[in-house]
Structure 1
Amino acid sequence: MLKTLPLCLCAAALALGGCGQSGSDNNGAAAQPGEAIKAAGDKTLAASIDQNGKFFQAAKAVGLDATLAGPGPYTLLVPSDDAFSKLEGDKLKDPTNPQNRAEITRILTYHILPGVILADDIGTAIDNGKGKAVLATMGGQTVTATKDGGKIVFTGGGTSKATVTQADMKATNGVIHNVDSVLTPPAGDSASGAKQGQ
């Protein structure tokens, strides 16, 4: 279905993302640049991620692997295993524990963005947004994208930041950007992410 959508829809999405903002204020404006672009590749997002990696193991434990194998499309921000190891507390340490399911789902859905958003699209949205772009997540929150020395940086709730280390790994149902840190959702919003994983 997405094959028939013209690329001009991407430009329209970018234009609309910038139109609703006045000055440099992006408050709550969740632009999704490039969501009309069709992904490529011969494997799904679920099959493209390291099956032994901590992100996939956590996703599988809470049932999000089925979502990532579905039609999508999604943009996936995948933290490195080192990033998971550095995460404070026990949030993702034991993904098989049913008591951790809601919090793990909330964190993982914070790393899934609806639509296909390539690095160039994010960069253009940042430029159009006068230095930042606010993007909606599957969990119902937003992340803010900025640039630092030519690299794309996502800022989550609180002070969590993740820099893109490898971008635009395309799958049949979306695209993957590897990041160097785990983003934490805003505090006090545990319900919306949990609903997504059920």
Structure 2
Amino acid sequence: MKKSLPLFLCAAALAVAGCNNEGDADTAAPAGNNGEAAGEGGEQTISASVDQNSKFFQAAKATGLDATLNGPGPYTILVPDDAAFTAAGTGPLSDPANTQNRAEITRILTYHILPGVILAEDISKAIDNNDGKTVLATMGGETLTATKEGDKIVLSDSAGKKATIGQADQKASNGVIHHVNAVLSPAPAGEAPADNG
């Protein structure tokens, strides 16, 4: 089964499609269809499919990631809703127009981007096949842990904060969008990620 590589092998992956390779089942994202599912989906890119007035899109636009999400991909995007951005407080995400916040916002947003097309069913199967949890490699070079609570897929960040996938599998021409109810955060820069399993 193909697995996604972390960013250190995919430094240019935001402009390149599908950084996938063989890997351990408990340390890499479940393989999706590298573009097949996207081709069956929407006619618009991820960038065009996301609500242009949403806080996620405004942050992506401020950092230039909107152009990446308009590119070939494929990508799997976890899009926090506006309430999640509000709940995130007064950090960098509260002022995406401030150029001093750009690097940290980019780190946070790329933590919500997975290489390849990973449908909710792929994540669910990987959780079931790996004793109740699986690890997803992000484009930011870190990982998220996926588990289930009932029939819902729950993602945990480096600090153990959780986000539940609500609307899943919104297909775009260059990937798929899953809507989540919280902003997840990578480990602080220069700090080893915590075991969030």
Q: Which digits, 9 at most, give the CA deviation of each residue in 1:152-177, with x for residues without a partner?
A: 00001102210001000000000000
- Which one-letter code corresponds to 1:60 in the other structure? K
Note the 1:141-180 alignment, pairs <5 A.
Answer: 141-180=142-181
Q: Which runs of 5+ in 1 are unaligned?
A: 1-11, 191-198
Matched, 1:30 2:34: no
Matched-pair contact (CA < 8 Å) for 1:157–1:187: no
Please give the TM-score of this superposition, normalised by the length of structure 1.
0.81
Find runs of 4+ consecutive structure 1 residues off by over 6 angstroms.
Answer: none
Q: Is the 8 A contact 2:2 2:23 kept in 1?
A: no
Compared CA separation, residues 187 and 34, structure 1 to 2 (3 A): same
Gaps of 5+ in 2: 4-20, 192-197
CA contact (8 A) 2:35 2:174 kept: no
- Give the Å deviation of 1:32: 3.3
Is residue 83 of structure 1 aligned with residue 84 of structure 2? yes
TM-score, with structure 2 as normaliser: 0.82
Partner of 1:181: 182
Per the alignment, residue 66 of structure 1 pairs with 67
Secondary structure of the residue aligned to 1:125 is: helix
CA apart distance, 1:19: 7.8
- Measured after TM superposition, the shift of residue 20 of structure 1 is 3.1
Q: Percent identity?
A: 60
How far, CA to CA, are the matches of 1:174 and 1:184 in structure 2? 22
Equivalent residues in 2 for 1:126-141, closer than 5 Å: 126-141=127-142
Match of 2:24 among 8, 12, 20: 20
| Residue 18 of structure 2: aligned partner | none
Would you tell me which structure has more helix in proportion to its own residues? 1
